[in-house]
Structure 1
Amino acid sequence: MSDERRMDVLRAIVEDYVSTSEPVGSKALVERHALGVSSATIRNDMAALEESGFIAQPHTSAGRIPTDKGYRVFVDRLTTVKPLSGPEKRAIGAFLEDAVDLDDVVDRSVRLLAQLTHQVAVVQYPSLRRSALRHIELVPVGQRHLLVVLITDTGRVEQRTLEASAELDELGVAQLRATLNARVAGRRLAELRGVVDEVSQRYTDDDLALLRQVVGVVEETLAQESEERVVLAGTANLARGGTDFARSLGPVLEALEEQVVLLRLLSEMAEDTAAVSVRIGHETQHDGLVETSFVTSGYGDEGGSVARVGAIGPTRMDYPATMASVRAVARYLTRILAG
C-alpha cells in the first residue's frame, strides 16, 4: 500500500466526517473523492489505517471516524493555512479597528472569533511579564502618597499607590517622572533592574529612596502573574455540536471555567514554534478536554507574542478554517496593539 495514498484516504475520511458528522465508508470515499482506486483497495487502506490507530470503527457495520492520532497527522500535513477571503479580512479589520481601548479590543476579538469559527473563542489578556512599558505617570495624592500609573505597549493600564518615606515635592516628582520615562520607555521587566543604578548619582537620599520605591512598584506590578486572565465567548456553540461529545458537556464547561487550566495550556502552546498551534484530544492533558481540540496563535509585537488567542471545539472541527480564522484575528490584534 502506498503511504501517500493511505494519507489521501485519511484526509478524505477527516474531511467527510467533519462535513457530515457520520462515520465514513469506502463506498462514500469512492463516490466523493477521485482517489483513483477501487472500493476494495480503499477498504484495505482503511483496514491498515485502523490497525495503525489513525481511524476507528464506532460500532459494528459502521464506517470509520478519525482518532486523535488521525487528526494529528491530518493537521501536521496541512502545508498551508488557507487565507481568509478579502471581504472577511476587511470585515475583521473594520470591526476591530473601531475599538476604543484594550478592554474593547479584547471583547470585540473574542466575540468575532466565536462567530468566525462557531467554536468557543479564547483571548488571553496581554501578559504584564512580557509587556514593555510605554509610559509612567506619577500623581501626588497627598503629602506622602503617590499614585503610580503604568501604561504598557499593549495598551494595558495598571495603577498602584505607594507611601513615600518623606513628604513629596511636586517639582521633584515631575523631574522623577521625566527621568523615568526617558529611561524605561520600551523596556521589559528584565531590563528594569539597572534603572536605579543608572540615575542614582543625581539624586539626594530622599529622592533616591522614592526612586527605589517607584521602580520597586513597577517591577512588582509587571511580575504579577495573578493579573493574567482570559476572556471567553461562544460557549453556546458547544451545545450546538453536543452530538460530538460522547459524554455530557459538563466536564468541558467545568474545564473552561477554570482559568488556570486555560492559562496552563496557553503557556505551554506559547512554546510551540508554529505560527498556529493545535492540541488535539488527549494532548490537552486535561480529562475535561479530551474530546476537544484547542487552536491558538500568539499576538503581540516584533519583540514576540505577549499573549495568545484561540478557539476550542470538538475534535471534529474544520481545522483549516479554524486555524485561518485564529491566525487572522491574532495578526489584526498585533497590528492594532502595535499602532
Structure 2
Amino acid sequence: MALSRSNIVLKYIVEYFIKTAQPVGSQTLIDEYKLSYSSATIRNEMHALEKMGYIEKTHSSSGRVPSTKGYRYYCENLRDGTVNEQLKNSIQSVLDQKIKSIEEVIKESCEILSHMTNLVTVVMGPDEREEKLASIQMIQISNNSITAIFVTDKGYVENKTFIVPENISAKEVVSCVSLLNDRLKGTPIVDLVEKTEALKPILSEYIVGHDLVYQALLETFVRFASDRLSLYGRDELFTHEEYKNDVEKLEKIFKLLSNQSLLKEVKREIREDERGRVLRIGDLRDNPDVSMVSARINLGQDGESAIALLGPTRIDYDQALSALDYIAKTLTDYFNDINKGGQGDA
C-alpha cells in the first residue's frame, strides 16, 4: 500500500536520523531522498507532524528529530521489515551443525545478532519458578579440592570448586554433598535456598567443617535463583555516537544490563504479550536514551527463553525488529522440530 505524503516524510526523518544522528530539515530530505515535493510543502508536513507529537525540535538546530511517539509509529506502520540475507545464512550455518546444545545454538545466534545490529543482546533463561534441581555431581580434582556440578532439569549448569582444609576429609565432603543431592533433587530452584538452610543441622552430623559445604552450596543456589541472563556484544555499544564521548550514558546502560528486576519485568511482559514481543522506547527505568526490543523463544520441552536487543533510542528499529523476529521464529521452529524428532525416536 502506498504511503501518504505525511508518512513518507516521517519515515525518511526517522531513517535519516537513525543513520546520521543529525537533526533533519526539509532540504536535507529533498537532497537525500530525491523527493518531488517543494521545500515549503515538506515544511508544512513537518509542522503538522510536530503538532501531533511525532517529531520534535532540538535546542541546537533548526532541524527535527523523531520523538518516542514517532519511533513507535514508524515501527508499527512504516518500516520495511526486510531480513538481512547474511543474517539468515549465518544463522542457518549454526543450525546445520546438529550436534550443538541448546546453549551453544542460542549463544552463537546471539553473537551473530549483536554483530549484525551493533546492539547488546541479552538472553533471559527459563523462569526459576518452573525449573528444578536435577542433580549435584562431585568430581575430586586433588586431595584437597573438589568440584561440585549442579544441573537443572532445563539444562542449566553451575559449578563450585571446594578447597578442602587439612582437618576435613575430601571423602566426607563427597558424602555430605551426596546426602544433599538425595534431599534436594527435584526441588524448584526458587525454593533451594530456604530448603538448604533447613538442612544445615543435618550437615553438622556428617562433617566437622560443615560450614564450608553449607556456605558454598548457599552461594551457588543464590546464583541459581538470580542469575538467568547472558550478555553478548557489549563492545558494540562503543560504535554508537551517543556513547563514544559520554561515560555517564555508558555507565547507565551497563547498570541496566545488570538490573535483574527490570529484565524479569520485561520477560513477564513478553510472556503475557499475544505476539511474544515487547518494544520499549526510552522508558527503561529513568533512562530516556535507551531502547529495548525483546522476543519470546519456545524451547519445546525445555520451557521458554527470551532474547532482547538493547541500545540507544536511535537504534535501527527496522533492522533490529526484523532480525529479532526472524531469529525468534527460526529458533522456536528449530527446537520444536528437535523435540518432535526426539519423541519420534523414543
Shorter-chain TM-score: which interval?
0.5 to 0.7
TM-score by length of 2: 0.67
Alpha-carbon distance between aligned partners in 2 of 1:77 and 1:304, rounded to the nearest angstrom: 35
Deviation at residue 122 of structure 1 after TM alignment: 1.0
1:8 to partner: Cα distance: 2.1
Report the Cα offset of residue 138 of structure 1.
10
**Secondary structure at the counterpart of residue 239 of structure 1:** helix
Structure 2 match to 1:264: 265
CA contact (8 A) 2:79 2:318 kept: no
The 3 A distance-change label for structure 1 pair 303 and 271 is farther
Q: Secondary structure at the match of 2:153?
A: strand
CA contact (8 A) 2:87 2:112 kept: no
Partner of 2:249: 248
2:12 aligned residue: 12
- 2:298 corresponds in structure 1 to 300
The match for 1:239 is: 238
Q: Tell whether the 8 Å contact from 1:102 to 1:156 is kept in structure 2 after alignment.
A: no
Q: How many residue pairs get matched?
A: 275
The alignment partner of 1:24 has SS state of coil
* TM-superposed deviation, 1:76: 1.4
Match in the other structure for 1:184 = none
What is the alpha-carbon distance in structure 1 between the residues aligned to residue 296 and residue 227 of structure 2? 15
Matched, 1:220 2:188: yes
1:38 aligns with 2:38: yes
Q: Which residue of 2 aligns with 1:309?
A: 307
CA deviations over 1:227-252 (Å, ceiling 9, x no partner) = 55111122222222143698632212
Counterparts in 2 of 1:297 and 1:148: CA distance versus 1, 3 Å:
closer
User: Is structure 2 residue 149 aligned with structure 1 residue 151?
Assistant: no
Query: 1:325 aligns to what?
Result: 323
What is the CA–CA distance in structure 2 between the aligned matches of 1:93 and 1:271, rounded to whole Å?
29
Specify whether residues 257 and 336 from structure 1 end up closer, same or farther in structure 2 by C-alpha distance, changes over 3 A only.
same
Deviation at 1:47, TM superposition (A): 1.2
Normalising by structure 1, what TM-score?
0.68
- Shift in Å at residue 31 of structure 1? 2.7
Pair 1:255–1:4, CA change in 2 (3 A): same
Q: After TM superposition, give the deviation of residue 303 of structure 1 in Å.
A: 8.1
Runs of 5+ consecutive residues of structure 1 not aligned to the other structure: 140-146, 165-209
- Is the CA contact (8 Å cut-off) linking 2:117 and 2:320 kept in structure 1? yes
Aligned partner of residue 87 in structure 2, secondary structure: helix
Structure-2 separation of matches of 1:149 and 1:118: 33
Say whether the 8 Å CA contact 2:94–2:108 is kept in structure 1: yes
Q: Is the 8 A contact 1:291 1:314 kept in 2?
A: yes
In structure 1, C-alpha distance between the alignment counterparts of 2:331 and 2:26, rounded to whole Å: 44
C-alpha RMSD over aligned residues: 3.7
What SS class does the counterpart of residue 308 from structure 2 fall into? strand
Check the 8 A contact 1:110/1:231 in 2, yes or no: no
**By how many angstroms is 1:313 displaced?**
1.1
Residue of structure 1 equivalent to 2:28: 28
Q: Which amino acid aligns with 1:250?
A: E
Contact 2:299–2:305 (8 Å) recurs in 1:
no
Query: What is the identity percentage for the equivalent residue pairs of Structure 1 and Structure 2?
Result: 29
SS of the residue corresponding to residue 328 of structure 1 reads helix
Residue 329 of structure 1 and its aligned partner are, at CA, apart by 2.4
SS in 2 for 1:273: coil
Partner of 1:95: 94
**Structure 1 residues 296 and 71, CA gap change in structure 2 (3 angstroms):** same
Unmatched 5+ stretches in structure 2: 138-148, 160-176, 193-223, 339-346
1:277 maps to which residue? 278
